[in-house]
């Protein structure tokens, strides 16, 4: 009986490891579960209207202290209805919460995420903690700049999710 339990535990462990590896190799598919992500390449128009925050999605380009090639799987979008909710994907887990916006001020609150474990958890944890620090934003040239007071935190590029 103990031998059978041990064998079952080994099989479950191996299946778990294969599942995690498969999940890591197919991150792009994880992003596309809710629709097709279309990055708006070559956008040169000057987008400065603050209402543009909710009219599109935003793909992370830069975050202080992290390499840019890691950012390709991190995105956020803001719902423009009365609930003022946001959602996104942080390279491994989905996240969501609510926001307050006025003039150039932006604060995110009630931030929560799914809890799947992945190898890049450091960048995801840093990203989610940084969201809590946001106090203002700017939109310029199809880029969303997020700040903690005067300190830049992140830069996002406009993209579209087609459901």
- pLDDT tens for 38-97 read 444 444 344 444 458 887 899 999 998 776 665 668 999 998 888 899 999 998 899 999
Which one, of 81, 87, 82, 84, lies nearest residue 57 by Cα? 87
For residue 122, the surrounding DSSP H or E stretch is helix 121-131
- pLDDT at residue 97, as a whole number: 96
Confidence check: pLDDT of 147 > 80: yes
Cα first-last separation, the chain: 50
Considering only the C-alpha atoms of the chain, give the largest distance between any 2 of them, rounded to a whole number of Å. 69
The pair phi, psi for residue 145, each rounded to 5°, is -105, 125
Distance, CA of 45 to CA of 127 (rounded, Å) = 28
15 vs 18, 22, 163, CA distance in Å? Answer: 5, 10, 32
- pLDDT tens for 2-50 read 777 777 667 776 765 665 444 444 433 333 333 334 444 444 344 444 4
Q: Judging by beta carbons within 10 Å of its beta carbon (0-12, 13-18, 19+), is residue 28 exposed, middle or buried?
A: exposed
Q: Is-above-0.85 flag for pTM?
A: no
96 vs 44, 85, 150, CA distance in Å? Answer: 30, 7, 25
- pLDDT at residue 114, as a whole number: 95
Tokens of 137: 């934003």
- pLDDT tens for 104-130 read 899 999 999 999 988 778 888 999 999
Torsion of the alpha carbons at 124, 127, 132 and 134, rounded to the nearest 10: -160
**For residue 141, is it left (φ>0), alpha (ψ between -120 and 50) or beta?**
left
Domains identified in the chain and CATH numbers: 2-162 (2.40.128.270)
Confidence check: pLDDT of 100 > 80: yes
- pLDDT at residue 83, as a whole number: 87
């Amino acid at each position: 009986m103990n031998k059978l339990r041990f064998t079952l535990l080994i099989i479950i462990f191996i299946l778990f490891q294969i599942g995690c590896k498969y999940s890591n190799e197919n991150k792009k598919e994880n992003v596309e579960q809710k629709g097709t992500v279309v990055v708006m390449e070559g956008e040169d128009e000057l987008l400065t209207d603050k209402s543009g925050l909710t009219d599109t999605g935003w793909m992370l380009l830069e975050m202080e202290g992290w390499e840019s090639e890691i950012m390709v799987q991190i995105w956020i979008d803001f719902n423009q209805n009365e609930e003022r909710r946001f959602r996104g994907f942080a390279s491994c887990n989905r996240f969501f919460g609510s926001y307050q916006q006025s003039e150039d001020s932006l604060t995110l609150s009630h931030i929560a995420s799914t809890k799947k474990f992945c190898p890049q958890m450091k960048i995801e944890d840093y990203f989610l903690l940084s969201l809590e620090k946001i106090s203002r934003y700017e939109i310029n040239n199809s880029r969303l700049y997020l700040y903690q007071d005067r300190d830049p935190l992140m830069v996002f590029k406009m993209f579209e999710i087609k459901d």
